[in-house]
Structure 1
Amino acid sequence: MLDTIPRAVPEIALQAIQKLIRDGGYQAGDALPSQRDLAEQLGVSRASLREALSSLSALGLISVQPGKGVFVQTPSPTVRSAPQGFSWPYAEQVSAADTFQLRYVLEGFSAGQAAISLTAEDIDQLEANVAAMRQELRTGDFEAAARLDFEFHRRLLEASGNRAMLQIITASHDIFLESQKLPFIRPERAMETWQEHRKILRHLARHACGPAQKAMQEHIRNAASRTGILFPV
């Protein structure tokens, strides 16, 4: 259960380890300090450090070898190159930018409301969804990852209890699903979607309404940015 995860922010540890690798001159194959030393050096909990290492491992930046240590590795080549620009098939109906802005408003609110009402079983199902997305992204199946992405967001809309918002998303299923495919035109940043879903889920598991809403809004703004769309908030 994710409600047992400490409140320390593992993203801080992740960024600190990346900086350590970059500034420390570590090369592929080099061993990082032990996890105990890393936790002390970075000033984070062991649990937060383990989560950061898990994320870096999923991104292909390190290899965690039980009983041996943590080793820097060269990121694997991306599955495919990102195209210049993107194709948005619904331009005559609504722009991609407008779609992301609508999602920012609706889904940010729904995540905050869902944090209040989600049950332990709901959290388990969302956790399974996030784990499945990680696997699909690691194999480069972005179509499957996008469907899991849509399902994650749909579950939160259902849990929010606002039938009007759910109806809007359901009626425009194809448009919203397409917006969730768009960020994957940048395969080298695909794992960021998974990381952001995990962050949202941590707040949901603690029933933290405000932080869950903020994390969802950050996720949608970042997703738009990965597509090349920026909008004021």
Structure 2
Amino acid sequence: MHASAPRAVPEYALQSIRKLIAEEGYRPGDVLPSQRDLAERLGVSRTSLREALSSLSALGVISVQPGKGVFVQAAAGQALAPMGFAWPFAEQVSAADTFQLRFALEGFACGLAAATLTAAQLDALQDNVEQMRLELRGGDFESASRLDFDFHRSILLASGNQAMCGIVTSSADIFLESQKLPFIRPERAMETWQEHRKILKALGRHASGPAQKAMQQHIRAAALRTGIAFVTLGD
């Protein structure tokens, strides 16, 4: 955390604030330095800092109280394992690395799919999204996560890139597990459906750029709902 740190990187700011809380012994109820001081200390923009604070607030790590300051709600690490978060593939690959790979691979694939998606493929995706809504309303998160996996796999297949499809097929258990993780926060489970609708809308317009962006935003948001932040180029 110094002046030469990368700028305008919300994930960097998020991780740095968590590190600050841990290393400087902040406890629940303690107030952090002002946002201006935090931005200067971390070497990030105020915009990046606000995005990081928003994510940390959603994860239950801090509470931003206008006019009063930023207060610690949970000891560092405590809020990063909601509902008993566990990653069974830790010896092979981290959850953060998995989400980072999906961000790059699936975002690009979604952009490709937007240009070539057939009417039948689009109808199948629409059916998937509607079925996910019903499963989530019924509280069946296991079925919803499988529909999530099928949604993403269908887009990869529609992209026509066999190499990318092969990566997902060979590591299907790992990819499926990453798609189960966001559902450990039931109160936010419908966000996955909402994000899928946004992706579907871009695909329906055959808009490659917006489709790629919508997919990448979805994967980043899904990771954050789990308590995972990862660095991407261009932040």
TM-score category by the smaller chain? 0.5 to 0.7
Tell me: CA distance 1:89–1:194, structure 2 relative to 1, closer, same or farther (3 Å).
same
Q: What whole-Å deviation, never above 9, does each CA across 1:150-207 have from its counterpart, x for those lacking one?
A: 0000001001111000000000000000000000011000000000000000000000
CA distance in 2, matches of 1:96, 1:122: 30
Other structure's SS at 2:107 match: helix
Partner residue of 2:213? 214
Aligned to 1:171: 170
Matched, 1:223 2:222: yes
Whether 1:156 aligns to 2:152 is no
Distance 1:84 1:138, change over 3 A: closer
| C-alpha distance in 1 between matches for 2:113 and 2:230 | 25
Paired residue for 2:86? 87
Aligned-partner Cα distance in 1 for 2:199–2:83: 30
Q: Distance in 2 between matches of 1:194 and 1:227?
A: 16
Matched residue, 1:127: 126
Amino acid across the alignment from 1:179: S
2: distance between equivalents of 1:99 and 1:164? 17
Mapped to 2, the partners of 1:85 and 1:98 lie a distance apart of 20
* TM-score scaled by length of structure 2: 0.64
**Take 2:206 and 2:82, find their aligned partners in 1: how far apart are those partners?**
39
Q: CA deviation at 1:232?
A: 2.1
Q: State the match for 2:62 in structure 1.
A: none
- Distance in 2 (alpha carbons) for counterparts of 1:179 and 1:140: 19
**d(CA) in 2 for partners of 1:85, 1:135:** 25
Q: Which residue of 1 aligns with 2:107?
A: 108
Gaps of 5+ in 2: 1-80
* Identical-pair percentage: 72
The structural deviation recorded for 1:213 is 0.1
CA distance in 2 between partners of 1:158 and 1:212 (Å): 15
Aligned residues of 2:135 and 2:144 also touching (Cα < 8 A) = yes
TM (norm. structure 1) is 0.64
Task: Confirm or deny that 1:186 pairs with 2:185.
Answer: yes
- CA distance, structure 1, for counterparts of residue 82 and residue 143 of structure 2: 19
Structure 2 CA distance, aligned partners of 1:98 and 1:130? 26
2:30 aligns with none
Mapped partners of 1:107, 1:166: distance in 2? 10
Query: Distance between the aligned counterparts of 1:148 and 1:176, measured in 2?
Result: 13
Partner of 1:98: 97
Tell me which residue corresponds to 1:136.
135
Report deviation, 1:84.
Answer: 4.6
Describe the superposition over 1:117-140 as per-residue Cα deviations: whole angstroms up to 9, x where unpaired.
001111111000000000000011
Equivalent residues, number: 152
Residue type matched to 2:158 in 1? A
Question: How far apart, CA to CA, are the structure 2 residues paired with 1:231 and 1:208?
Answer: 26
